[in-house]
Amino acid sequence: MGEDAAPRLAPAAPAGRAIDATWVAIAAAINVGGVVVVAAHNDALGGLTPGVVLLLVIGPALLWWRRRDPWLVLAGCVAVTWTYILGGLPPGPVYGPMIVALVSAVVHGARRTAYLVVVATLAVHAGAGLLPGWDASSLTAMGALTAWLLFLLAFGELIRHRHALAEERRRRRVASLDAHADQLRREAAEDRLDLARELHDVVGHHLAVINIQASAGLHLHAARRPGVEEALRVVREASGRALCDVQVMLDTLRNPGHAASLLPSPSLSDIDGLLGSARAGGLDVEVVVTGEPRSLPAAHDLVAGRVVLESLTNVLRHAGRPKTWVRIDYRPKGLRVGVDNAAPTPEAARTPGGGRGIPGMRARVETCGGTLTAGPLEPFAWSVRATLPLQEQHR
């Protein structure tokens, strides 16, 4: 007999095996004990031969496999039980294993076998009614048997339904835990991406300054001109800051809760400190502030500072040391930050290089709901414009 399409519930080890052993012991005790009691009451203990006892134990023993092969166990219990009854052996409550096997078949994926056994049993009893001796008492017995078998089927269906609900709840819990784990992994990946952006912005800026000053120092040294000492001093300070920032970020990766507050956070409120490295690298930067300066949300302040820092780094990398303007425009419902530079020649100024500088800035700005544009804008060789929306209460 084929199994039902519904998946069968597997027993949980060792709890499931303990339950199966309990059913085997209970069914065997009822079978053997019940027959012994009835035989003792009828003074027929002599009929309990080893073969009879063995037949009484086979049915309960089959229940050990009721989860793995429910339809085979049901078929075996039916065969053993009816063999015992039709063999004229000592009477007693020997239906227990068959009842347990019938309910287990419904619960564990052999429903068709269970229903077939019930229909066959009722058909045999109905067919027996055609024989001589059928009377009203036989009809009553037939009705009682039908009600009892239907009750067992209904009981099995109830247990199966409860198991299905429990399994569905378990699947939902597992799915919820998996979703939560995925969310944690995404958040961890986003944190790592943020740290990578911080590393790119801060260290990249310092390295650009170091490169400019090292080149200038070599040029001055080759020309026997003064200024080498100043260039080396700037290189030392920029490399020291870069090493410190890298160490802070590594500490953050090891222990995010303790070192996160030490991460470098460029702020428009400290515009001189923000531009210090660029000016030390020889960049002529002029700051133009319009509107009414005010306190900004931390996220917006950090993003605006990063845009300024990355834009100045790009100027140092790709345009040398041209005249550069940093424009900060405080508007009623927004903030606009711009960085413009005039390169010595258009070709030198319009070489964007490559890398992830501009995409990184754009991604940062978009996290605050803003927009960023970058490219040549007359009369400048290159311009960066970032617009960040602000709520009315931040005015």
Give the per-residue pLDDT at 11: 47
325 near 278, Cβ under 8 Å?
A: no
- The conformational region for residue 355 under phi > 0 = left, psi -120 to 50 = alpha, else beta, is left
pTM above 0.85, yes or no: no
Could you tell me the fold of the domain covering 266-395? Heat Shock Protein 90 (3.30.565)
How far is the C-alpha of 382 from the C-alpha of 380, rounded, in Å? 5
* pLDDT at position 95 over 70: yes
345 has a pLDDT exceeding 50: no
- % of the chain at pLDDT higher than 90: 9
pLDDT at 347: 43
Reading the block at residue 181, the tokens are: 């784990």
Domain layout of the chain by residue ranges: 15-134, 266-395
- In the predicted structure, residue 315 carries a pLDDT above the cut 60: yes
Best-predicted range by mean pLDDT (30-34, 254-258, 259-263): 30-34
pLDDT at residue 134 tops 90 = no
Average pLDDT value over all residues in the chain = 77
Which of 93-102, 107-116, 223-232 shows the lowest per-residue confidence on average (mean pLDDT)? 223-232
Residue range 146-179, pLDDT digits in tens: 888 888 889 888 988 998 898 899 999 999 989 9
CA 77, CA 102: separation in Å to the nearest integer?
9
pLDDT tens digits for range 260-307: 444 556 778 778 877 877 787 778 889 999 988 888 887 788 888 888
Tell me the torsion sign for CA atoms 240, 241, 247, 250: negative
> Within 13 A of 340's CA, how many CA atoms are on the CB side?
13
The pLDDT assigned to 133 comes to 57
